[in-house]
Amino acid sequence: MPKIISANLNGIRSAHKKGFFNWMGAQTADFVCVQELKAQHGDMTEEFLAPHGYHGHFHYAEKKGYSGTGVYSRVKPDAVVTGFGSPEFDAEGRYTRIDCGDLSIVSVYCPSGSSSPERQEAKFRFMALFLPHLLELKAQGRELVICGDWNIAHHEIDLKNFKGNKKNSGFLPEERAWLSQIFGEVGFVDVHRGLDKREEQYTWWSNRGQAYAKNVGWRIDYHVATPGIAAQAHTVSVYKDERFSDHAPLIIDYRPRQAEQ
């Protein structure tokens, strides 16, 4: 089983300048899922496409400088899928999946609804479409790890100011209930929270009001996995020693302990 990193880059070119790929090369990860590329294929240098010998696979948004997802893999995958069948959201580059043997790795970037009521409605449309897709994936019987920025904090422990955010996008009752359904009746596992139940395990901080310095954050980046591979996970960390983005990389090791180096 693998070691997997999820990282919202808030722009792949910006993250590169801040040292992301140097750091990534030292992590010995099997898969690295990235979101918010903010780039098209013509913007991607060889270092972005195949850093440190990884195979890179990407889903670019049609709109320039917007969204985008990707998965880096140590091994060449058996199959690569971009998009999950929604013309609206596939045009935004929000889904990249690779299949390696009986394991599928997905990088997903769920919409944010914070900029306007219209974008919140788009987020609700995404949620309504993505849940049936998750059911279809799970029905295939493969092991799945769906990494990415889901733009929802699930419980009060998952954001600093939960009292003031109950009517705000990212912590709305409907959004939280949707995640509860995924982790409940659908049967996926929130791997991070299963391993670490401590407070203040945030992965994103606003650029306003010294949020990072004060650790006023949100846990909105997840590894969402099928129970089989989730049960193999044993080590989780949020990397904060360097800042590549307004998000921090989420690292989970699913490898057998005896295989660790």
List, by residue number, the catalytic residues.
Answer: 149
Q: Give residues with Cβ within 8 angstroms of 46, minimum separation 6.
A: none
Residue 8, strand partner residues: 35
Q: Number of helices (H) and strands (E), helices first, in the chain?
A: 9, 14
Q: Which residue has the tokens 């846990």?
A: 219
Coil, helix or strand at residue 234: coil
CA distance 73 to 89: 24
Tokens of residue 62, six digits: 């049609």
Tokens of residue 150, six digits: 């889901």
Q: How far is the CA of 125 from the CAs of 88, 130, 163, 190, in angstroms? A: 9, 9, 26, 22
Q: Which of 165, 157, 154, 238 is nearest to 188 (CA)?
A: 154
Determine phi and psi for 42, rounding to 5 degrees: -65, -15
